Amino acid sequence: MPKFQAPRGTRDLLPADATTYRRMSDIASRLSELYGYRPIETPMFEDSAVFERGIGEVTDIVEKELFRIRSPGSDEDRWALRPEATAGICRAFVEHGMHTLPQPVRLATFGPMFRYDRPQAGRYRQFYQWNVEAIGDAGPAIDAELIELALRFVRDVGVQDVELHLNSIGDAACRPAYIAALVEYLAKYEDALPPTERHRLRANPLRVLDTRDARTQAILDDAPTIDAFLCPACRDHFDSLLAHLDRLEVPIHRAPRLVRGLDYYTRTAFELYQRGAEGQQSALGGGGRYDGLIELFGARPTPGVGFALGIDRIAMLAAKQGVAESIGKPVAVVVGADPAATDVRLALATQLRAAGVATGADLAPRKLGRQLEGAAREGAHFAIVIGDELEAGQVQLRDLEAGTQRLVNVADLVRELQRAHASHRHGESDTSPTAT
């Protein structure tokens, strides 16, 4: 075993994975621009209080998962690595007086987050999110815009079977009555609850709803849901959101017990799951409305709504569904019958690259058979075989996946490759299908 390894819960993203992440970041940038969400970058660490106040003192994230940092020479953990982006973005909104900008302020960021959790598949100590926020609009149309955007990202990545779980968790006017009903119900089972959940029941009862403990989950099966407690304003907001989503033809799954793991939410709360894979562990992303958060940072009340998608989990699902396989591979590799004619191969590859086709070239002076083996190993869709036909301006275009081959004019090669590759490839929705 090597002496040094990446810290537990972190991973090196080697070229295959890094390519997938890069592509997702590109899709995120393209969609942010398309929907009018402007980029923002906040520091990787903040005053711990930003997270304690924003996310909530009695949450897993703050109680157990903050990577706290001490300045040299200090005896106090004043800072913490960011476990999520929303609190920092709201801190920046207030600090820079963004309430004077035209509202809502639409912001997006893509980058690493840090949570000291027990590592397992899809749960890391350093993970990546695409985080999108709209601050300054009370909704509900903007809630629908964001939900549709989150689903659009997943669709553009090419991942299938993703379901939207949606709930309203009320607001300061109606939630207290629901919490009282929940506490009354859970109190009957207090002895059966594990110590953590008993602590939660007293300190922050809603958190019990996102327990990871199977016994508590079974007890919760019959617990009251918030639906019956929503006040007229929250009910209207939710009904209108449902109507907007219906108009956008976004299918939803009502999840009456969904509360999210952070305290700042009001009204709209949602999560994305692979169909049939529910449970806190496997959410591909989540978000909701946080109308009270900006106020906690000392500014006047300003509504907000947003989401974050878990890039690592979406990448895992993409790999499972075979979507990631075509990412980052050359569309074609140029090979040739004359091992020594590396100049001809390099010249044709350069010409195709200039036209925007991701092209490899076999530049070793080896036999054609070996060159073709290399092209297949690289995962190229096509091999362009240069032979005697080149004198007549033609090459053989071999489809390595279909095992077919035909003569093509060099002048038509770019168009032919783009057409054949685009019709084959999935998950691509922009207009440059060959630019991998």
The site for ligand HAM (CB under 6 A) is made up of 84-86, 115, 117, 122-124, 127, 129, 131, 133, 261-262, 283-288, 290, 306-308, 310, 312-313
Minimum distance of ligand HAM from residue 339's CB (angstroms): 48
- Comparing CB distances to ligand HAM, the nearer of 149 and 219 is 149
Minimum distance of ligand HAM from residue 211's CB (angstroms): 15
Give the whole-angstrom CA distance, residue 383 versus residue 379. 10
- Do residues 162 and 275 make contact, with C-beta atoms less than 8 angstroms apart? yes
- Comparing CB distances to ligand HAM, the nearer of 321 and 436 is 321
Cα radius of gyration rounded to whole Å, the chain: 26
Token pair for residue 26? 């590109």
- Comparing CB distances to ligand HAM, the nearer of 86 and 394 is 86
Interacting residues of 402 by C-beta distance below 8 A, sequence separation 6+: none
Interacting residues of 396 by C-beta distance below 8 A, sequence separation 6+: 384, 385, 387, 389, 405, 406, 407, 408
- State which residue has the least CB distance to ligand HAM: 310
Minimum distance of ligand HAM from residue 195's CB (angstroms): 23
- Comparing CB distances to ligand HAM, the nearer of 35 and 189 is 35
| For the chain, counts of helices (H) and of strands (E) | 14, 16
Minimum distance of ligand HAM from residue 415's CB (angstroms): 40
The DSSP result for 208-270, as a single string, is GGG---HHHHHHHTTS--GGGG--HHHHHHHHHHHHHHHHTT---EE-TT---SSTT-EEEEE
Minimum distance of ligand HAM from residue 128's CB (angstroms): 8
Minimum distance of ligand HAM from residue 166's CB (angstroms): 14
- Comparing CB distances to ligand HAM, the nearer of 25 and 351 is 25
Minimum distance of ligand HAM from residue 390's CB (angstroms): 51
Minimum distance of ligand HAM from residue 322's CB (angstroms): 21
- Do residues 164 and 252 make contact, with C-beta atoms less than 8 angstroms apart? yes
- Comparing CB distances to ligand HAM, the nearer of 279 and 322 is 279
Interacting residues of 434 by C-beta distance below 8 A, sequence separation 6+: 331, 356, 357, 358, 417, 418, 421, 422
- Comparing CB distances to ligand HAM, the nearer of 59 and 418 is 59
Give the whole-angstrom CA distance, residue 173 versus residue 160. 39
- Comparing CB distances to ligand HAM, the nearer of 285 and 360 is 285
Give the whole-angstrom CA distance, residue 293 versus residue 344. 62
User: For residue 334, what are the β-bridge partners?
Assistant: 361, 384
